[in-house]
A and B are shown apart, each in its own frame.
Chain A
Amino acid sequence: MGNTSSMLTQYDIEEVQEHCNNTFSQQEIVSLYQRFCQLDRSGGGFISADEFLSVPEFAVNPLSQRLLRMLDGLNFKEFVAFLSAFSSRATLQQKVEFIFKVYDLDCNGKVTFNDMLDVLRDLTGQFISEQQREQVLTHVLEEAGYKKDSLLVLSDFMKILGNSGLKMEVEVPVD
């Protein structure tokens, strides 16, 4: 059998559950802990970039570098809080907040045209020109009632994505 790192106590599970606002059940937290320990091969208490990249689906995700910046050095409690946006119990607000954080990489609470351009570049790679990207983005912003030099905050994102029928959910397998 692989290494069974320190077991989670009931107190630990409750603490993690509180920290993620009850978006995961206790059994799900146990499953997530098993997975966390599996990925944390070096046993450092956090999952390194390389260890994340060992998950093939993660490595092929065009946003992987962005996500790695957000996941850097997270311990298990913070890891679960990070994943909470993907739970079926998470509110739309929590999901949109997560998306906002992906765009707002410098964490200053504002998303600029360039921030959005950066994400679009990650998503489209070499398959559209920079000019076309700017064109698309300007068009999208205008459609939503914003200008090219607008600074978007979380409430703007909520307005734009609020009615999109966003479904960002993952099922945590429970034994």
Chain B
Amino acid sequence: MLLFSLSDKHMPCWLFSLQRCLVELICGFFVASWTGVISYHGPQPSIRPKHVFVANHTSMIDFIILEQMTVFAVIMQKHPGWVGLLQRTVMESVGCIWFNRNEAKDREIVARKIKNHIQGADNNPLLIFPEGTCVNNHYTVMFKKGAFELGCTVCPIAIKYNKIFIDAFWNSKKQSFTMHLVQLMTSWAVVCDVWYLEPQNLKPGETPIEFAERVRDIISVRAGLNKVPWDGYLKYSHPSPKHTERKQQIFAESVMRCLEEESDKFILLK
């Protein structure tokens, strides 16, 4: 328990390294428990300041697969139950940042925490899943721009599971994480490819949203995923009526335009 209580910033360097190794080991065991056969491609991430990692998201095990190779600090939704316990103990030690989807003001608080984290040179590199939710590993949904407006280099990571062995998509609406894990552990193997891709910077004249889309392109192409233009949070709530209103507005404008053209024609003919 010594490990878990030392999440203080002023840890001696060797202890920090030891902690990282132990977390990597724990994740390694976890991966072995569901017979994970993971192929890593590309250069292993180097820990450098002002570098943020982004990846497509399929299940909470994404984090463990990546964590096995390099210890990241990740941004995660706070969960109840035994997962919450693991979050509060093991993951607190690597500097993870929590958010709560259901809280309105949460975004600003999280944005501030992220900014603080990347300033710190000793902090573990930050891993963000810009989709904001688990997706079925066939598609990528819209990336949230938060990770792309930090003024950092963004290193994309693409993850693709081989569906022949097990569908690794965790549908949080259909089953709890425990059941999902049981399913994974009792399947033959979890086979997956991880690609560490070339770090990207914001190009001059590019907005964060364009940057996010460009990185989403890179990840989708590498992992063979289709890009879809909708927001991952639609899993949790219906689309805002604003979208419907926008469509109505476009139609109304074209109707009014036609009417004006007709009445102009009428005036001309007179």
Q: Point out residues on A near B: beta carbons under 8 Å.
A: 1-2, 53-54, 56, 59-62, 64, 120, 123-128, 132, 135-136, 139
Contact = CB atoms under 8 A, between A and B. Distances in A.
Nearest to B238: A59
A136 B259 contact: yes
Interface of B: 167, 171, 174, 230, 234, 238-239, 243-245, 247-249, 251-253, 255-256, 259, 262
Most chain B CB within a 10 A radius of its CB, from A56, A132, A139: A56
A2 B174 contact: yes
A136 B251 CA distance: 13
Contacts, number: 52
B256 A132 contact: yes
Nearest to A60: B243
B252 A128 contact: yes
Contacts of A126: 245, 248
B247 A60 contact: yes
Contacts of B174: 2
12 contacts: A1-B167, A56-B234, A59-B244, A62-B247, A62-B248, A62-B251, A123-B252, A124-B252, A127-B245, A128-B255, A135-B259, A136-B259
A135 B258 CA distance: 12
Contacts of A62: 244, 247-248, 251
B239 A60 contact: yes
Most chain A CB within a 10 A radius of its CB, from B167, B248, B249: B248
B249 A127 contact: yes
Nearest to B235: A54
Contacts of B253: 127
A123 B238 contact: no
A53 B247 contact: no
